[in-house]
């Protein structure tokens, strides 16, 4: 994949953030990502009075990914209500890892990082693939 238009991707995330449903925290979050087929997808947080049922923006992004044809995420950004960069929580990093292309890039509060830098030694589909490859009969 060529150069990533981080400003344009962030604009998509800001637009998604404006759609967030946050009556309790009043802390809107928007995300946007580029899929390996070139699509740009987005998501926002959706709160619930039972806080544990709140959907992070990354959850809605991955739901959009699956509902619009799947694929692997290659670039990702997350913004707060002011459009500033946010780091996804640990749960969401794992969710992103599950659907990432190897080396997926994230725009973070400390600059551009790979998915492996923000969730080192992660367990996911690639781990399972290696495990099963090593056990396949020759």
Euclidean distance between CA atoms 128 and 136, whole angstroms: 12
Please give the Cα distance from 79 to 85 (Å, whole number). 5
- In the set 15, 58, 98, 134, the catalytic residue is 58
Strand (E) or helix (H) holding 14: helix 6-17
Closest to 35 (Cα-Cα) out of 100, 92, 87: 100
Q: Write the burial class of residue 4 (CB in 10 Å: 0-12 exposed, 13-18 middle, 19+ buried).
A: middle
| Residue 47: active-site member | no
What are the residue numbers of the active site?
A: 58
């Amino acid at each position: 994949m060529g150069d990533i238009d981080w400003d344009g991707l962030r604009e998509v995330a800001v637009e998604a953030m404006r759609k967030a449903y946050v009556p309790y925290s009043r802390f809107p979050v928007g995300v946007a990502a580029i899929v390996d087929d070139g699509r740009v997808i987005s998501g926002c947080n959706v709160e619930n009075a039972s806080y544990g049922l709140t959907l992070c923006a990354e959850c809605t992004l991955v739901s959009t990914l699956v509902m619009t044809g799947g694929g692997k995420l290659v670039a990702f950004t997350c913004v707060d209500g002011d459009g500033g960069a946010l780091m996804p929580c640990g749960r969401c990093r794992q969710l992103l890892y599950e659907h990432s292309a190897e080396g997926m890039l994230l725009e973070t509060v400390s600059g551009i990082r790979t998915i492996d830098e923000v969730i080192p030694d992660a367990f996911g589909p690639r781990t399972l693939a290696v495990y099963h490859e090593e056990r396949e009969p020759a």
